[in-house]
Structure 1
Amino acid sequence: MSFLSTRRKASRIVLELDDVHLGKLLKSLRTTTRSGAIASTDLRVVQIADFLKHPSQDWDRHTFRLAVLAHFLAETPVPSRWAEREPDSATALALHAWSEVFRARATGNAEGASRASTNCLRAADLAPLDPTPWIVLLEIARLERHRAAETFYVWNELLLRDRWNRDAYLSMMRYLTPDEAGSRLQVLEFVDSLRSRMPVNAPCAATELTSQVLHYQSIRTRGGVEGLMARAYWTDVYVTAALDRASQHWTQPSFLSHAAALADLNTLAYALMSADRHREALPVFRAIGGAVTTWPWRFEGDPLTAFQRAQGRAEAGR
């Protein structure tokens, strides 16, 4: 990522963030779809299979690309068609399973979760070092509210394959929230344990800040006096310390090098603006360079509009 330019770039929702090769694939997939070709599904399968045919051991990048593609293709027959054509491809099976999870969350219908679990277990057998099937299994455990013992078994298998995987920690943190299977205390204990042992620039570095933004938004959702006083949450000494650490380090050149770094910078910009630390948010917006993520901005309405409004306030210093 380039953090040196001060020129504001046009903001837009960017699924691929700064992954140029993934961005080219998504553009090609959109073009194929718009062409209306009779065999457009098969053409897209070929495009994706060619793009992912040589998965590297950079599991962070591999996970990110599969997550983006699973979300992008969730409402299409492409993932299932690829899995049918290549039933011995761990990547095809994992992509199909992850797309089923995205579809289930979008529709509230989890009937495809059983099939997704089967695909994940098959993928795990085919590619025993790949953490991706286990990430999807963790998502399924959350979706179906599995017992803690089953969920932590998946979690431990995942960490054996990729110790600091961003999706893994964010998913487990959400599993431990009161909205799912845990409590606020469990989230705090999880974050404290992570902070004490992870590298400061690990792919999962934003887990703590993400948990704080989620909690802030949950307070606002409650409404009433508590909701009106939600801004005071950012004055808590522990919350302030987390913001201080992120604000000090994350925009330094090459400090964050993982695939979803721009997504974490969006989270930081949102948190700083929510805490009325507008001047500190300005270099973060510059580092983002216009690559907007839907979360956490969608909490404020249209995410692109919310981002642009916050960016304008940061530039005005108010």
Structure 2
Amino acid sequence: MVDTMAPLPPFIRSTRMARTPVGAVARPLPGLPADDEVLLDAPDDRLGPALVAAAGDDWEPAARLLAGTRQRAEWEDRDRYAHRLAAFARSRGAWLDAWRAAAPDDPDVLLLTAQLAVDRAWPSPARAELLREVSPLITAAARADDRDPVPWRVALDHARGSRAGHRYFEELWEAAVRRAPHHHGCHVAALRYLAGSCRVPAQDTHGPRAPHTPGARHDSLRACFDFADRAAQDAPADALVQGLPVRAAFACLTGDGSGVERAGVARSRLDAAADRAMALSARCPAATPRYAELRNLLTYVLVRLDRHRDALAQLRLIGPYATSYPWDRMSDDPLGLFLELRADVRSVRLGPVPGAPDSGETGRGRRAGTRGH
């Protein structure tokens, strides 16, 4: 689901003017994979075989993968796999059609069918009208397994796209968090709804709730941070929701969802969001697809905050795993943009790099001459 493309920041525009000449070989960056080793949206070891089988119209590996996530209550992985499998089915859907024919009431095929229907409707100018027609598919997926929060995340996205009222969204939100109080995908859906609605969220004993009170745009950004901060504070230390505030920072820095940039949000709050996401990143395994999107997003935010040494540390943790988001919000060549930013960060004079003797400087706030902003 693609929102309005954000403006290209100046520090990225300058690097795009200096691509490697045709025929030249890019110099490897110390401590980082070579450019030709970096992959965009690479699947993990479980998803990869399912996608390969689906390319041959074999749906059974995908069915086993999703059934396993449901049986083990691996809701974050299930949500990520549902997104990726539905995206694949948009261009090659014969395997999903065969699965539906063989097992029309399977909770996993119902989930993919609902996700695919929402994805197909999203780019259309008639999005709201088309999405209202797919409501029965989401209802069927939600009823198929009452424990599963992922259909409710689909429902939250659907409600945002179809411009559903705040009371209805709040009912969906409460149903989602009853099933998984700290589910990352549901929180992201609620954050996007909040950013787009310019409303202030309420809170009760069950945690953050959906927005319902009118407010100005700068108040909406602060409300996004309030929502994200409360969710992160309530979540376990290793939960992906710990990274939710850095998504609010991204919305603030780019206007993603709200059309404004940093309005009414203090720099210290942006730094605190980045710090929390860095702490989560440090607790997670390095160079793994599961945490790649978090680290790609965090890298963007750190560079926009002129924290280039911290950004370089995240690039090392990313390893070869670039993700379309957030780079596709600024370019139709997300991998190219990621590689250009990576080279730019490494070329900035940063003082000592991680692992070298420390000069007493920190990464936060250090500027890089004319390359900063």
Aligned mates of 2:163, 2:150 — CA distance in 1: 20
Structure 1 245/129 Cα, relative in aligned 2: closer, same or farther at 3 Å? Answer: closer
Higher RCO (CA-CA < 8 Å; seq separation 6+): 1
Q: Does 1:164 align with 2:207?
A: no
Change in 2 beyond 3 A, CA 1:140/1:234: closer
Change (3 A) 1:306 1:263: same
SS of the aligned residue for 2:160 comes to helix
Matched residue type, 1:98: Q
Query: For residues 251 and 290 of structure 1, what CA distance do their matches in structure 2 show?
Result: 16
Partner of 1:242: 273
| Cα deviations by residue, 1:13-33 (Å, 9 ceiling, x for unpaired) | 1252xx212022223434x2x
**CA offsets, 1:154-197, max 9 Å, x none?**
111111111111111111000001x3463324313312322332
Determine if the alignment matches structure 1 residue 100 to structure 2 residue 125: no
Q: Output the CA distance in 2 between the equivalents of 1:258 and 1:186.
A: 32
- Aligned residues: percent identity? 24
Partner residue of 2:336?
305
Task: Give the Cα separation in 1 of the matches to 2:315 and 2:154.
Answer: 31
Contact 1:142-1:175 within 8 A present in 2 as well: yes
Alpha-carbon distance, 1:80 to partner: 4.8
- CA apart distance, 1:62: 1.4
Which residue does the alignment assign to 1:62? 78
Which one of 71, 75, 88 corresponds to residue 87 of structure 2? 71
Q: Tell me: CA distance 1:82–1:108, structure 2 relative to 1, closer, same or farther (3 Å).
A: farther
- Once the 2 structures are TM-superposed, how far is the Cα of residue 238 of structure 1 from its aligned partner? 1.1
Task: Provide Cα deviations, 1:52-74, integer angstroms capped at 9, x if missing partner.
Answer: 34333211111211111112222
CA distance in 2, matches of 1:7, 1:20: 22
Measure the CA separation in 2 of the matches of 1:15 and 1:147: 37
Pair 1:45-2:59 in alignment: yes
Structure 2 gaps, min length 5:
1-29, 200-219, 350-373
Which SS does the other structure have where 2:325 is aligned?
coil
Question: 1:278 touches 1:314 (CA, 8 Å); kept in 2?
Answer: yes
The answer for unaligned runs of 5 or more in structure 1 is 33-42
In structure 1, how many angstroms separate the alpha carbons of the residues matched to 2:281 and 2:146? 35
Q: Tell me which amino acid in the other structure corresponds to 1:82.
A: W
**CA offset at residue 85 of structure 1?**
3.4
Mean Cα displacement is larger for which, 271-280 or 141-150?
271-280
Task: Give 1:91 shift.
Answer: 1.0
2:329 paired with 1:274? no
Match of 2:217 in 1: none
Query: How many residues end up aligned between the 2 structures?
Result: 292
Q: Is the 8 A contact 1:279 1:317 kept in 2?
A: no
Asked whether 1:254 is paired with 2:284, we answer yes
Residue 263 of structure 1 deviates from its aligned partner by 0.6
- SS class of match (2:310): helix
**What residue identity is the alignment partner of 2:294?**
D
Partners in 2 of 1:189 and 1:136 — Cα distance?
A: 23
For the pair 1:90 / 2:107, whether they are aligned, the reply is yes
Of 151, 154, 167 in structure 1, the residue corresponding to residue 169 of structure 2 is 151
Q: Which amino acid aligns with 1:313?
A: D
Question: TM-score, normalized by length of structure 2?
Answer: 0.70
Q: Check whether the contact 2:117–2:134 (CA below 8 A) recurs between aligned residues.
A: yes
Specify the alignment match of 1:203 in structure 2.
240
Aligned to 2:8: none
Q: Which amino acid aligns with 2:54?
A: L
- Structure-1 separation of matches of 2:289 and 2:152: 19
Corresponding position of 1:316: 347
Letter in 1 for 2:241: C
